[in-house]
Structure 1
């Protein structure tokens, strides 16, 4: 049975395969000229006419309108659910492939299904770190959203693109998209749900977040709360496997229901983890800006409690402990800050990176301000944690740039001018800048 092209193509193909003339298909109810207009794409049949034509052509109305039989449609819906589960709880690479297969099956005659699959594939590319292809896919979908608003909403695409551009280092484009999305959610108004939390995450991580942005972030945190969530990974995977088994047994309807249950079961944990990330960033920003430390400390503590329930979130848990250590240091509790920084380093178990370096910098600050420990030793440990590998221009690392800059500041405070200059240079490299010349002193303001 032909399924390609438009409704008109399917009507004509089926008519010819049954050796019917346009007049025979029209019968006593329609005119042959009207059938001709439908076949040429100049008219779209109403639901009543579509049912009538489907009866005479010996096919289902679903097939005539969408080019896909009911069983095919539910199988495609099931494919979407399983690809989504792979994206959320499995392998993003496998998810991208599965979404790609659905795009081919759905085709242009099933534009809504294809649009959902294209959005899922773009998200999978982003999770793989393939930011270039992800941005290209999201930008294409935004153009489609303008042309076909009934298929796609612009807001989720703007939020996703803002996140991608931010991770790619294009802060201007990221900020413009976030501001556009913020104006849209404020007009609704929208502060609950995954989309609002995703936007809050984009806004709070922006290096130039303004008062309106931070006010929205604070509002989202206040109305949603940062609550502990139960780790239900085993339950999610059990439902997922049951859905696969139902599909293998040709019970597609049950398979879809079980897949929906699996996706819904994971939603509270996804929301809690995302809110905890937002809370961690907000607490850090607030502490740096001299904001209310009590509130910042409470949010960092709540975030750590959320992350502690998920072993795969160990890095975020360590980050929340370091943020809390910095807040305690700002509050004058040097002993508490040192304990938290030590705990964080113990959890990292010798692994390097910007997170470990930040913990060493907290210990360096404690040593410098309170005489507790070896300042030079802590600074050198931070430098070793950051490593000596060169940064690629195509992938700036904002977090590493920030840590190198703080390290340079502290080296300057203890009079280690050579190490300070080297640290500032590494900050520029991590930010994607290669303009500093050998022998030229780099002002720390340049790398803020």
Structure 2
């Protein structure tokens, strides 16, 4: 049964295929002129009239109103869930393709399903680091949400766009979107749930939370206070078991059971996803506490430790685990415990193994700070040279502005200044500008560390 066109198109097509006149379809309950208005699109039948017409045309009310049969709808809903599972626990490129297929199947007559599928596809593009196409897709959806708020909510789109613009290096645009989302979420108000946690993560990533008394700072503090960093169990095997069972049920044409099992799989993974997001927020919060000096170090230590425990439970979060260890090392150093800082930095380096990069460099910088605190300038310089070697392998020109690398190069320059190696200090500051996206050569110009903060 074709699903294209409007309600009127479907009424007219079915009526003609059954060789019925408008008067015959109208019967004793309706006028033929009313049927004519429905077919021309000038009237939309009420639910009662739609049921009456569907009975006479031999179709379902669902098909007449939405262009899709109940079985088609449940299969489409199942497709959405399986695409979501692929995005969250499988291959995001496969998820993008599946969401795209759903968009084609749903069509314009099922705008809400299509909108949710396009939102899923945009998220899949973001996860694949295809930030340009993801921004384009999210911006289009946001325009649709403004015109049709019954299809999509603006808030998740604003948060997603803030996250994408941040990764693209457009911090001003990212901050504007986050501030807009914050105003919306405070109107509700809301400090729990996935969207609240996603917004808090975006705010900490942007860095505007440094300002004492800022609304962003207050909101992130509220989210951490309300949710904490919950302990979590790795239930990946259970998720995949439920997912496979859902696929098996679908193959057996038990779509209702397949949807239920897919929902169970998604719900099973939700606590871990939220805990990982909260752990990221806690890690950033602890780092800001050390660098800003405005937050209690005991609280920072507790948050960073809880974050480490969450990340340690999931092999795929090794990068985040190491980062939390380095932040904990900074906290210990700030609390006057150089031995504890050295141990944590060593654990971070052991976890990384031979892998160089920004994280390895930040761990070496902790060791350099410890050596400086102990008056061991030679050891500090050696650690700084090792950090520089780790950073030199990071290719900034391929990935756009890299704020974390820029911050690490800047810290390296500061520490080179403390040990009196001026040439290396200047070179590190230049690299910080390069990582931040500033490409212009400044030969012969002394770079001030304030420019890259």
Aligned partner of 1:327 in structure 2 is 331
**2:416–2:425: 8 Å Cα contact kept in structure 1?**
yes
TM-score (norm 2): 0.97
Whether the aligned pair in 2 keeps the contact of 1:328 and 1:336 (CA below 8 Å) is yes
Q: 1:378 to 1:117 in 2, by over 3 A?
A: same
Superposition misfits of 4+ residues, deviation over 4 angstroms:
none
Q: 1:435 aligns to what?
A: 440
How much has 1:175 moved relative to structure 2?
0.3
What's the offset of the Cα at 1:390? 4.7
> 2 CA distance for matches of 1:412 and 1:346?
28
| Alignment equivalent of 1:395, drawn from 367, 378, 400 | 400
- The separation in 2 between residues aligned to 1:221 and 1:147, in whole angstroms, is 34
By how many angstroms is 1:389 displaced?
5.3
Say if 2:276 is the partner of 1:246.
no
Uncovered stretches (5+) of structure 2, i.e. residues with no partner: none
Aligned partner (choices 202, 210, 215) of residue 218 of structure 2:
215
Query: In the alignment, is residue 415 of structure 1 matched against residue 420 of structure 2?
Result: yes
User: What does 1:9-24 correspond to in 2, within 5 Å?
Assistant: 9-24=9-24
Take 1:254 and 1:225, find their aligned partners in 2: how far apart are those partners? 35
Partner of 1:232: 235
The residue correspondences of 1:22-37 to structure 2 (distance < 5 A) are 22-37=22-37
Q: Tell me how far apart the structure 2 counterparts of residues 388 and 266 of structure 1 sit (CA, whole Å).
A: 35
Aligned residues of 2:358 and 2:394 also touching (Cα < 8 A): no
1:285-364 aligned within 5 A: 285-290=288-293, 291-364=295-368
Change (3 A) 1:396 1:224: same
Distance 2:374 2:65 in 1: 75
SS of the residue 2:397 aligns to: coil
Report if aligned partners of 1:436, 1:442 keep a CA contact under 8 Å in 2.
no
How far the C-alpha of 1:388 sits from its partner, in A, is: 4.3
Q: Report the equivalent of 1:184.
A: 184
User: Which residue in the other structure is 1:42 paired with?
Assistant: 42
Matched with 1:277 is: 280
- Would you say 1:367 and 2:376 are equivalent positions? no
Corresponding residue to 2:259 among 236, 256, 259: 256
| Distance in 2, Cα, partners of 1:389 & 1:333 | 31
Mapped to 2, the partners of 1:170 and 1:63 lie a distance apart of: 45
8 Å CA contact retained: 2:356, 2:393:
no
CA distance in 2 between partners of 1:160 and 1:125 (Å): 12
- Is contact 1:421-1:441 (8 Å) kept? yes
Q: How far apart are residue 14 of structure 1 and its match?
A: 1.1
CA deviation profile, 1:148-200 (whole Å, cap 9, x unmatched):
11111000111110000001100011000100111111111100011100000
Tell me if structure 2 keeps the 8 A contact 1:393–1:433. no
Distance 1:418 1:31 in 2: 90
- After TM superposition, give the deviation of residue 436 of structure 1 in Å: 3.7
Distance 1:239 1:321 in 2: 34
Aligned length: 448
Residue 378 of structure 2 corresponds to residue 376 of structure 1: no
Q: Deviations over 1:199-250 (max 9, x none)?
A: 0000111133342101110110110111110000000000000000000011
SS at match of 1:228: coil
Deviates more, 1:315-324 or 1:365-374: 365-374
Distance in 2 separating the partners of 1:360 and 1:394: 24
Q: Look up the match of 1:148.
A: 148
CA-to-aligned-CA distance 1:251-280 (integer Å, 9 cap, x gap)? 101000000000000011111111001000
8 A Cα contact 1:142 1:154, kept in partner: yes
RMSD, matched Cα: 1.2
Gap change, CA 1:228 and 1:177, over 3 Å in 2 = same
